[in-house]
């Protein structure tokens, strides 16, 4: 399942089918957190503990992360809420609730909200 490449440095990667499976589960879990019907109870645990895009990655990597993670999440949200305006409203509501309930909690949620909003 894990491929090892020995060039100048050892690199590990997943087989494409495994990577696709894991990525789909991750996207589904993030979507479920963001589309939870009860905003007050929405913890955004995974959304806060994992970055959707790595801030210090090369531009080509960031573009791949945008294509394979951020945009599919936005697509699911758009299908759920029917318009980009409603998606934006939902994300703003989620952000407000998250700020209120987690003012001193560290994590990736702030950056993740920014990346989703920028890509709208």
**Domains held by the chain: number:** 1
Contact between residue 117 and residue 73 where contact means Cβ atoms under 8 Å apart: no
Contact indicator for 116, 66 with CB cutoff of 8 Å: no
Does the predicted TM-score (pTM) go above 0.85?
yes
Phi, psi of 81 (to 5 degrees): -100, 0
Residues counted in the chain:
120
Gap between the Cα atoms of 3 and 12, Å rounded: 6
Task: pLDDT band for 7, please (50, 70, 90 cuts).
Answer: confident
pLDDT digits (tens, 9 = 90+) for 12-47: 777 889 889 999 999 999 999 999 878 766 789 999
Q: From CA 90, how far away is CA 96, in angstroms rounded?
A: 10
Look up the domain containing 66 and give its range.
Answer: 2-119
Q: Which class for 3: exposed (0-12), middle (13-18), buried (19 or more C-beta within 10 A)?
A: exposed
Q: What is the pLDDT of residues 48-99, one digit of tens each?
A: 999 999 989 999 999 999 999 999 999 999 999 999 999 999 999 999 999 9
Contact yes or no for 72/27 (Cβ under 8 A)? yes
């Amino acid at each position: 399942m894990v491929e090892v490449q020995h060039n100048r440095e050892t690199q590990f990667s997943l087989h494409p089918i495994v990577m696709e499976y894991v990525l789909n589960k991750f996207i589904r879990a993030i979507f479920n957190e963001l589309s939870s019907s009860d905003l007050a109870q929405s913890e955004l645990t995974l959304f806060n503990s994992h970055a959707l895009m790595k801030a210090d990655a090369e531009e080509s990597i960031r573009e791949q992360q945008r294509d394979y993670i951020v945009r599919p999440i936005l697509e699911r949200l758009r299908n759920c809420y029917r318009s980009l305006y409603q998606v934006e409203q939902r994300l703003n509501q989620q952000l407000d609730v998250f700020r209120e309930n987690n003012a001193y909690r560290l994590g990736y949620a702030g950056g993740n909200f920014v990346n989703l909003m920028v890509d709208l």
